[in-house]
Chain A
Amino acid sequence: MGELIRISNLSKSFADTTVLQSLDMQVNSGEIVAIIGSSGSGKSTLVRCIAGLESVSGGEILLDGEAVVNTASTYGKVGMVFQNFNLFPHFTVGENISKPLQTILKMKGDIAAEKAKILLDKVHILDKFEQYPNSLSGGQKQRLAIARALAMEPEIIIFDEPTSSLDPELAHEVFETISDLAKEGQTMLIVTHQINAIRRFATRIVFLNKGKIEVEGTPDYIFHQSDNHNLQQFLKQVDFADI
C-alpha cells in the first residue's frame, strides 16, 4: 500500500477562527479512512483542503508527492461526493456522468454514454438514465453523485457527510454502495457522523477534536480500546442506532 496523501503540520484559519492546527496525517492506497468528530471539529474543512477546495493557511498537503494548492492540482486524482449532492440539474442522470467525460476526457458521446450506463448499473439506477436528477430520491441522487465521481477514475474518493441530509433508510442505500466500493479496494476518505455504518468497512478511524487529530486507529481500537475522554464523550453523543 503506497502512500497517497501526506499531510504535514496543516493549519487552516478563517479570519480569526482557527479551524485546523498542526495536523499530521497520511492516507495509503486502498485504505478506507473515516473522519469523525463533533460539529465544528474541522472534519469538512480538512477534506476540502485535501480536495483543493480550500487553501491552507500553513503546512502542506502532498498528493502522490505533489503539493495540493487548488482543485487543478487534485484533478484526476481526487473525486468528491458532497453532502448536498451538487448534481447538475440541467443534465439528465446519464448526462451527469457522460458530459464531464466528453468535456474533460474528450471521450466520444456514445462511449461516454456506455460508460455512464455501466456506472449507473453499478449503483442500481440505470433505469433513471433518461430522467433528470429532480425525479430521484435523496439516496438515488447521492448514488448518482458517487457514480459521477467514479467515472473520472480517481485514486481516492472523498465523501463529505454523504448521508447527513438523508433519512436512515436512504442513508443505508448510500452506505451499501460505499461498502461495495470498499470491497473493490477503492481508496476512500469519509467524513460522517454515522459511525455504526462505517465501522463495518473502515480500515482506520480518525477522531478530530478542535482542529486536531486526538485519536486514530482501527474501528476496534476506537470503539473498544481507546480511553480518550473526548472520544468517549463523542461516542456517547452520537446515535448508535444501526442504520
Chain B
Amino acid sequence: MTNLDFTTLLPYINLLPAAIAITLQVGLGGFILAIVLAIVVGSLRTRKLNWVVHLVLTAYVEFFRGTPLLVQLFVVYYGLPSFGIRIEPMIAAIVTMGLNSGAYLSEVVRASILSVDRGQYEAAAMLGYNSMQTISQIILPQALRIAVPTFMNGFSSIIKETSLISVLPVIELTKLGNQIYAKTYHPFEIYITMAIIYFVMTYSVTFLAKWLERRLSVWVN
C-alpha cells in the first residue's frame, strides 16, 4: 500500500488561489448568465408566442438539455472557429455553462410561473397592470421565491461542472490537479484535496441558499 504524503502538494499550494478564482469566476459568470436566460426564456415560454420564437426557444432548451456539457464545450471552443468565430477559453466556458444551466433553469422558472395562482393575474389586471408589469412586479417575484432552492442547486452544479472545462486551455481547479499529478504521481492526495475544496465551495452555497430562502419566505403562508 502506498504511503500518503500530502507534503508533495506544498510546492504547488501558491497556485491554488488562482485556480480557485478561475473556478469561481466561471461558476459565478455562468450562473449569472443562466439566471438571466432562465428568467427571459422561462417567462416567454409561459406565453403564447409567434411560432418562430416558440420554435427557437424550444430548440434551445431541448438541445442544451439533450446533449452533454462536455460536447457543448467542444462545439463552442473547438467547433466555432471553423466558422471564423474564435472565443477566449474563459468566455467560452462561461457562455457554455450559462447556456447549459440556463436551459435547465428556464424550465424551473416556467413551472414556477405556472404555479402562481391565476387570481394574481386577475387582481393585477383589475388594478390596471399591463402584462409586462404583471409579470415583472407580481408574478416573477412570487415564482422566483419558489425557484430559489432549485436555483441554488443549479449554482452548486455549475461549480462542480466547472471541472469539465479542464479540457479547455484554462487552469481551473481540476486542470491544476492534473498538472500537479503529472509532476508528482500522487493522485489520491491531489484529487482528494481538490474534492474537499469543491465540497467547501458547494457546501457554502447550501448555507447561502438556506439564508436566502428564509429571507424570501417572510411573506409565505
Query: Interface of A with B (CB < 8 Å)?
Result: 51-53, 71, 74-76, 78-80, 82, 84, 86-91, 99-100, 103-104, 132-134, 148-149, 152
Give the complex CA separation of A89 and B221 in angstroms: 8
List residues of chain B with CB within 8 A of the CB of A74. 126
Q: Tell yes or no: B128 within 8 A of A by CB.
A: yes
Q: Tell yes or no: B71 within 8 A of A by CB.
A: no
List residues of chain A with CB within 8 A of the CB of B1. none
Please pick, from A78, A90, A91, A133, the residue contacting B126 in the complex, using a CB distance under 8 A.
A78
Smallest CB–CB gap between B161 and chain A, Å?
32
Q: Flag if B126 contacts A80 (CB, 8 Å).
A: yes
Q: Tell yes or no: B141 within 8 A of A by CB.
A: yes
A132-B218, A132-B219 known; A86+B129 contact, CB < 8 A = no
Per-residue interface assignment for chain B, residues 75 to 108, with 1 indicating a CB less than 8 Å from any chain A CB and 0 otherwise: 0000000000000000000000000000000000
Q: Flag if B218 contacts A103 (CB, 8 Å).
A: no
Per-residue interface assignment for chain B, residues 198 to 221, with 1 indicating a CB less than 8 Å from any chain A CB and 0 otherwise: 000000000000000000001111
Give the complex CA separation of A135 and B67 in angstroms: 47
Give the complex CA separation of A74 and B123 in angstroms: 13
Among A76, A86, A90: residue with most chain B CB under 10 A: A90
List residues of chain B with CB within 8 A of the CB of A103. 129, 133, 137
Extra pairs beyond A71-B126, A104-B128 (18, CB < 8 Å): A53-B125, A74-B126, A76-B128, A82-B123, A86-B117, A86-B122, A86-B123, A88-B120, A90-B142, A90-B145, A99-B137, A100-B128, A132-B219, A134-B219, A134-B221, A148-B127, A152-B127, A152-B128
Per-residue interface assignment for chain B, residues 127 to 162, with 1 indicating a CB less than 8 Å from any chain A CB and 0 otherwise: 111000100011001100100000000000000000
Smallest CB–CB gap between A115 and chain B, Å?
14
Chain B minimum-CB-distance residue to A89? B219
Give the complex CA separation of A100 and B120 in angstroms: 13
Q: Flag if B123 contacts A90 (CB, 8 Å).
A: no
Query: Interface of B with A (CB < 8 Å)?
Result: 117, 119-120, 122-129, 133, 137-138, 141-142, 145, 218-221
A103-B133, A133-B219, A134-B221 known; A86+B120 contact, CB < 8 A = yes
Smallest CB–CB gap between A81 and chain B, Å?
9
Chain A minimum-CB-distance residue to B141? A90
List residues of chain B with CB within 8 A of the CB of A100. 127-129
Give the complex CA separation of A181 and B145 in angstroms: 36
Give the complex CA separation of A86 and B221 in angstroms: 13
Give the complex CA separation of A134 and B119 in angstroms: 16
Chain B minimum-CB-distance residue to A51? B126
Give the complex CA separation of A158 and B216 in angstroms: 33
Give the complex CA separation of A52 and B122 in angstroms: 10
Chain A minimum-CB-distance residue to B138? A88
Among A51, A100, A132, A134: residue with most chain B CB under 10 A: A100
Q: Flag if A104 contacts B129 (CB, 8 Å).
A: yes
List residues of chain B with CB within 8 A of the CB of A133. 219
Give the complex CA separation of A88 and B145 in angstroms: 14
List residues of chain B with CB within 8 A of the CB of A80. 122-123, 126
List residues of chain B with CB within 8 A of the CB of A87. 123
Smallest CB–CB gap between B85 and chain A, Å?
42
Chain B minimum-CB-distance residue to A87? B123
Q: Flag if A82 contacts B127 (CB, 8 Å).
A: no
List residues of chain B with CB within 8 A of the CB of A132. 218-219
Closest 5 A/B residue pairs (Cβ): A86-B123, A86-B119, A71-B125, A132-B219, A104-B128
Among B119, B127, B221: residue with most chain A CB under 10 A: B127
Chain B minimum-CB-distance residue to A97? B127
